[in-house]
Amino acid sequence: MRIARRMSSRGTGRRDPARAPAAALRNRILARSRLPVLVVMLAIGYGTAGYWLVEGKSLLDAFYAAVLTLSTVGVGTDSPPGPGGEVFTVSLILFGVVALFTAIGVGTEVVASGEPGRWLRMNQVTRSIGHLSGHYVICAYGRVGRAVLVELQRRNYTTVVIEAKSELEPLLEEHGVRYISGDPTDEAVLRQAGIERARGLICAVDSDAANVFITLTARALNPGLRIVARASERSSIDKLVRAGADEVVSPYGLTGRRMAVLAVQPSVLEVLDLLNLGSDIRLEEVAVRAGTHLDGLTIAQARARYAGVAILALKEPGSEVLANPNHEVRLASGDLIVVLGPAEILNRMAD
């Protein structure tokens, strides 16, 4: 019920843009700048009213004299003020000094906080993300998120990280990661990350409830998105699948299985690590597209054309994965093949 209520309040896509992270940061900067601006305006108003009442100047001349006095230029010597005007001018100067130090103090605090720089960076990142398409969005930059990012970057995919913890921002800056500061469960933040144009989403938040809500929101925004979600508890796997996740991964389960295999069959994992992390030999998934070299070839013909590449499995649309497919099977648009071979040849196959 709680998720349903949050969905009803966010699912319309009509969120106030001011609640976006960059806009919220801008509003904070403006709010902190209001005090010095208010003090300066009060000083000018005080000076204008004083010269108008004490010296009998017109409103325009009084405003002019107040601005000159506050700017330390002075009111001039052509019409020296009377005793009352001199006392008032001293009080106005003191008021101006207070306003000056207030503005300097607040300005220094704002600059030292780094918020203006973050706001400029977020605007720059938002503009660059606005031009992205077919990228991957990673929610959370924890240990799992970092490992995902490294692997996607190794494969030359474009990524955007959404991180809610401000203490991780220096690390993101140090690693040169394109990121957005915000809550990934917020629809406005997902939109800012270009989720509607993204190819995939990795939900690596350490909260299963958050991953469920992210999956629900992202699936509604982009029905064709491929979503891989993390599940800490086994009971959350079914919830994530029903929410729209294409794949659900349990890091603890994978780690346990890996440790068991290392204990009994270490050579198997050494080979898999070589395939996944090696600079030349790779295990890849290649999509057969209409009009490409693979379209219309049989498995045997594809193996002959791309010598040195092994076709390990085939997945036709709407069917299960077929391991070691028959050499007479003909490839068609929409098929996926799992291939093993040198990276250079695999890249040619994907073209």
pLDDT in tens, 223-254: 999 999 998 888 888 999 999 999 898 877 66
* Maximum separation of any 2 CA atoms in the chain, in Å: 108
Give the model's pLDDT for residue 287.
Answer: 87
Can you tell me the distance from the alpha carbon of 336 to that of 284, in angstroms, rounded to the nearest whole number? Answer: 10
Helix axes 83-113, 21-54, angle to 10 degrees: 170
CATH number for the domain running over 133-255: 3.40.50.720
Give the model's pLDDT for residue 341.
Answer: 80
Give the model's pLDDT for residue 201.
Answer: 95
All structural domains of the chain with their residue ranges:
21-115, 133-255, 279-350
Question: pLDDT tens digit string along 278-327?
Answer: 556 677 888 888 888 888 899 888 888 888 788 888 988 888 888 888 88
- Sign of the Cα pseudo-torsion (328, 332, 338, 339, in order): positive
Among the residue ranges 10-14, 175-179, 192-196, the one predicted with the least confidence is 10-14
Instruction: Work out the percent of the chain whose per-residue pLDDT is above 70.
Output: 77
The DSSP code sequence of 293-334 is SSTT-BHHHHHHHTTT-EEEEEE-TTS-EEES--TTPBP-TT
Give the model's pLDDT for residue 1.
Answer: 37
Q: What is the pTM of this model?
A: 0.57
Can you tell me the distance from the alpha carbon of 223 to that of 107, in angstroms, rounded to the nearest whole number? Answer: 46
| Interacting residues of 42 by C-beta distance below 8 A, sequence separation 6+ | 95, 99
Can you tell me the distance from the alpha carbon of 237 to that of 247, in angstroms, rounded to the nearest whole number? Answer: 9
Q: Which residues sit opposite 323 in a β-bridge?
A: 313
Give the model's pLDDT for residue 6.
Answer: 41
Rounded to a whole number of angstroms, the distance between the first and last alpha carbons of the chain is 47
206 SS3 class: coil
Can you tell me the distance from the alpha carbon of 300 to that of 40, in angstroms, rounded to the nearest whole number? Answer: 81
Name the CATH code of domain 279-350 (choices 3.40.109.10, 3.40.50.300, 3.30.70.1450, 3.60.21.10): 3.30.70.1450
Name the CATH code of domain 21-115 (choices 1.10.287.70, 2.60.40.10, 3.20.20.140, 2.40.10.220): 1.10.287.70
| Interacting residues of 264 by C-beta distance below 8 A, sequence separation 6+ | none
Give the model's pLDDT for residue 41.
Answer: 85
Q: Which residues sit opposite 283 in a β-bridge?
A: 340
Question: pLDDT tens digit string along 181-195?
Answer: 889 999 988 998 999
Can you tell me the distance from the alpha carbon of 67 to that of 268, in angstroms, rounded to the nearest whole number? Answer: 80
What are the φ/ψ torsions at residue 107 (nearest 5 degrees)? Answer: -60, -40
Give the model's pLDDT for residue 196.
Answer: 93
Closest to 160 (Cα-Cα) out of 209, 229, 182? 182
pLDDT band at 36 (very low <50, low <70, confident <90, very high): confident
Can you tell me the distance from the alpha carbon of 157 to that of 3, in angstroms, rounded to the nearest whole number? Answer: 32
Q: 318-324: long-range contacts (C-beta < 8 A, 24 or more apart)?
A: none
What are the φ/ψ torsions at residue 15 (nearest 5 degrees)? Answer: -65, 150
